[in-house]
Amino acid sequence: MSEREILELRAKVDFIDKEIVRHLNERARAVLEIKRLKQGDNVALYDPKREEQIMANAVANNEGPLYDDTIRELFQRIIHEIRSLESE
């Protein structure tokens, strides 16, 4: 019986993963667009306050079961990866 349930849950995980990939790329595109606008205005690209705000938001939205520290770590990676993309 639980074999079918496991397959259903795996299909759910696959669907969620698809959404995560889509959102990560959507996020990257928005950040690249912000960078383009900032460069046009000659505004500093790096804004540590903004990064703090992103982390605070992510943790505020965390209802678990993942730990706040895990969310922080994952978002640090995401921000870092998108930033490396920008600098090319």
Minimum CB separation from its own copies for residue 52, in Å?
Answer: 13
| Amino acid, res. 73 | E
Helix (H) or strand (E) holding 69: helix 68-86
Q: Which of 83, 23, 88 is nearest to 50 (CA)?
A: 83
Minimum CB separation from its own copies for residue 7, in Å?
Answer: 10
Cα separation values, 7 from 4, 18, 72, Å: 5, 17, 30
Nearer to its own copies by C-beta: 10 or 52?
10
Which residues of the shown chain bind its own copies in the complex (CB under 8 A)?
2-3, 5-6, 9-10, 12-14, 16-34, 37-38, 40-41, 50, 54, 57-58, 61-67, 70-71, 73-75, 77-78, 81-82, 85
Token pair 């698809």 is found at 18
